[in-house]
Amino acid sequence: MKHIKQILISLTLVAFIYGCNEDGTLIQEEEEQSTAINKILNRQTTGSSANDLLSDNTFTSMVIELVYVEGFEPTQAAVDNFVSFLESRTFKPNGITVEKRAIPSPGQDTFSIEDIADIEREERTIYNLNNKIAVWALFIDGKSENDNGSSVTLGSAYWNTSFVIYEETIKNLTNSPFEPDQSLLETTVINHEFGHILGLTNLGSSMQNEHEDEEHPKHCNDESCLMYWAAESGANISNMVNMSSAPQLDAQCIADLKANGGK
């Protein structure tokens, strides 16, 4: 009888464990379905998520996945300045965080935007989820394929939450006492590219007054504004040598951001 009772207890225990595993699996599947990540939402046109980034209507927090090629990490000062820029222009009551990591060199000298997008497809790990919007920032060890002589590209915004900084080019332009400070140039280019992601100029955040540069579309016509075309091209490098801080958005660009849910 004792032997039979032990068998019954064992069978009951097995049944209990099986039931727990089955229920646990169902719960896990439900959680995965409820938090399913749609990567396509982070691969839309530049400026199309401006309101989501600026306001807290849908997303109350923001995470920056900052990825750099080994040896090409941006200065901490530039990263801090970027976060300050975001905090000054966006409503994210649950905070803005930066998750930074290094990746091996892709082994190329020049990059097309499609090359950059391919790296993101391979390396990006953080996407929009629940009430947190995600941004991808890549610092690459090469030049843009669009560079031509003294005309260089320092950064490019290419999707709704994605931009690249050509860190090798920036380092080459800031490696002597007669050139701008590295963190100053990085701050300028990073904030400029994110300005495009925020819909400036006439790229998703509607202009409250006409101020788009006719000769350089999607840029502000105010030469002192952060969104002036020269900020991402290196054309005003000599003017930055004696500057102590990065250019700021002018009143017209700020008005556009405020009208689209920002500060």
pLDDT, tens digit (0-9, with 9 covering 90-100), for 174-208:
988 777 899 999 999 999 999 999 999 999 999 99
What's the rounded Cα separation, in Å, for the pair 233 and 50? 23
Alpha carbon 201 to chain centroid, angstroms: 18
What pLDDT is stored for residue 230 in this prediction?
87
d(CA 141, CA 235): 21
Count helices and strands (H / E) in the chain: 8, 7
Mean pLDDT of all residues in 135-139:
98
- Between residues 238 and 138, which one has the greater pLDDT? 138
**162 vs 23, residue with greater confidence:** 162
Rounded to two decimals, what is the model's pTM?
0.85
Query: Given this model, what pLDDT does residue 240 score?
Result: 73
User: Of 84, 210, 63, which is closest to residue 128 (Cα–Cα)?
Assistant: 63
Is residue 212 packed enough to be buried (19+ CB in 10 Å), middle (13-18) or exposed (0-12)? middle
Instruction: Work out whether the CA dihedral 191, 171, 156, 161 comes out positive or negative.
Output: negative
Q: What CATH code is assigned to 39-259?
A: 3.40.390.10
Whether the per-residue pLDDT at 12 is higher than 50: the answer is no
Closest CA to 84 of 211, 205, 187, 217: 187
Res 105: pLDDT: 98
Amino acid at position 241, single letter: V
Q: In this predicted model, what pLDDT tens digit does every residue of 115-124 receive, in sequence order?
A: 999 999 999 9
Is the pLDDT at 246 greater than 50, yes or no? Answer: yes
Q: What's the pLDDT score for residue 167?
A: 97
Does the pLDDT of residue 29 top 90, yes or no? no
pLDDT of residue 236: 67
Is the confidence at residue 6, as pLDDT, over 60?
no
For residue 32, the SS3 value is helix
pLDDT digits (tens, 9 = 90+) for 64-108: 999 999 999 999 999 999 999 999 999 999 999 999 999 999 999
Q: Quick check: bond before 25 cis, omega within 30?
A: no
Question: Which residue has better confidence, 130 or 6?
Answer: 130
| Side-chain half-sphere exposure of 32, counting CA atoms within 13 A | 6
Q: Mean pLDDT of all residues in the chain?
A: 87
Contacts of 257 (CB under 8 A, 6+ apart): 54, 89, 198, 199, 200, 205, 249, 263
> Which residues touch 35 (CB under 8 Å, ≥6 apart)?
129, 130
Assess contact for 78 and 190: CB atoms under 8 A.
yes
Distance of alpha carbon 263 from alpha carbon 260, whole angstroms: 9
263 close to 85: Cβ distance less than 8 angstroms: no
Q: Where are the domains of the chain?
A: 39-259
Span of 19-33, 81-95, 228-242 with lowest mean pLDDT: 19-33
